[in-house]
Structures are given as structure tokens and as C-alpha cells.
Amino acid sequence: MGNHGSNLDDILAEDMHHWYNKFMKESPSGLITLFELKAILNLRGMTETANSYVDQVFFTFDMDGDGYIDFVEYIAAISLLLKGEINQKLKWYFKLFDQDGNGKIDKDELVSIFAAIQDITRNRETNPEDVVSIIFERIDVKGEGEMTLEEFIEGAKDHEDIMNMLKNLMDLTPVLVIIVEGRML
């Protein structure tokens, strides 16, 4: 696919047959395990926090909870990341952030996720604690120290700067480029 694979417009233009061929090339069994995902993305030597984040991403995409990402889940995930409506993306972010699955996200969960993302991307321009403080200051208006899905979605949509921070922090374009270019080690 070459250099133009790094352009999201090119990724969006791919047809289903092409995506299927890429998926089957990476995983001939038709199922991707967590271990295979980490190999595809060349994720080695990560901190425990970053490793937990990748695990959380995997289990978020594993919609039926069977321990594998099948082609339908794979396409649904890529479609969401590339073309999903803002509400869909915010719901996905929330599910990803809610590490303990209690239906609420707290400061520690967000700091952990943002620090893990920085560990993976090596982008440390922003302090995770500062970002989380801003998010909670603006969205957690009751001062409870945690947010429900509804609070998170409404609050994020009401603050353009928070939406921009989330988009920048959660930009998975480099991951999609690796998948599109078929780099598997």
C-alpha cells in the first residue's frame, strides 16, 4: 500500500474485500488473539500500565467477550474509529476508560489510560494529571470524583476543548496505518 497508506482518506477508501484480505493475511484462522494483536502492532517492552491499556482496547473491541477479535468485530472497530458518530466514539472511549467496569470513570482510571497511551505513542507533551483535572473540573460539575456515561458524553460535547483533547489523546491513526500497511513481525 506504500506511503499513501498513512492518509486516513486512503484508509477510508478501502473496500471490504481489501480489509478482509488484510485481516486474513494477519490472522489466517479468522480470529485475532490479544497476543497476536500485540505482535501485529509490534508492542514489546511496554510498561505494565501500557500493557493494561492494550488489553483494555482488545477487550473493548472483543464485543462478544470470547477472547478473540473476529472479522465483524475488526471491521466494526475500524469503522467506529474512522467514521463513527461522536456519540458512538464517546461511548467507546467511556467503555475503554471504565477499567473496573462499574459504569463510572474516575480520575485514577483516566490518568492510568492517558499515561499508558503516552507510553505507547512516546508522546509526552501533555501531563495526564493536568488533562484529567481539566476534564473533571469542567464535566464533573457535582464534584463527585467520578462520571457516568451520560455525564461524560454530555460534558464532553459541551466543551470543544475537551473534545479536542480526547481526539488528540485517543488518535489511533498510527495503529490503523500499521494494520493497513500490513506490518507484522
Tens of pLDDT along the chain (185 residues) come to 333 344 445 555 556 677 778 778 878 888 989 888 877 776 666 677 777 778 888 888 888 889 998 888 887 777 777 777 888 888 888 888 888 889 999 999 888 888 877 776 666 777 888 888 988 998 988 889 999 999 999 988 898 888 888 877 776 666 556 555 554 43
Structural domains present in the chain: 9-181 (1.10.238.10)
Residue 70 cell numbers, joined? 473476529
H helix intervals, the chain: 8-13, 16-26, 34-40, 48-61, 71-83, 86-97, 107-121, 128-139, 149-158, 160-169, 173-181
54, 38 contact by CB (below 8 A): yes
Q: What residue type is assigned to position 161 of the chain?
A: D
pTM: 0.69
Measure Cα distances from 19 to 13, 14, 34, 59, 75 in Å: 10, 7, 19, 21, 8
Contacts of range 163-168, beta carbons closer than 8 Å, 24 or more positions apart: 163/86, 165/126, 165/131, 165/134, 165/135, 166/90, 166/93
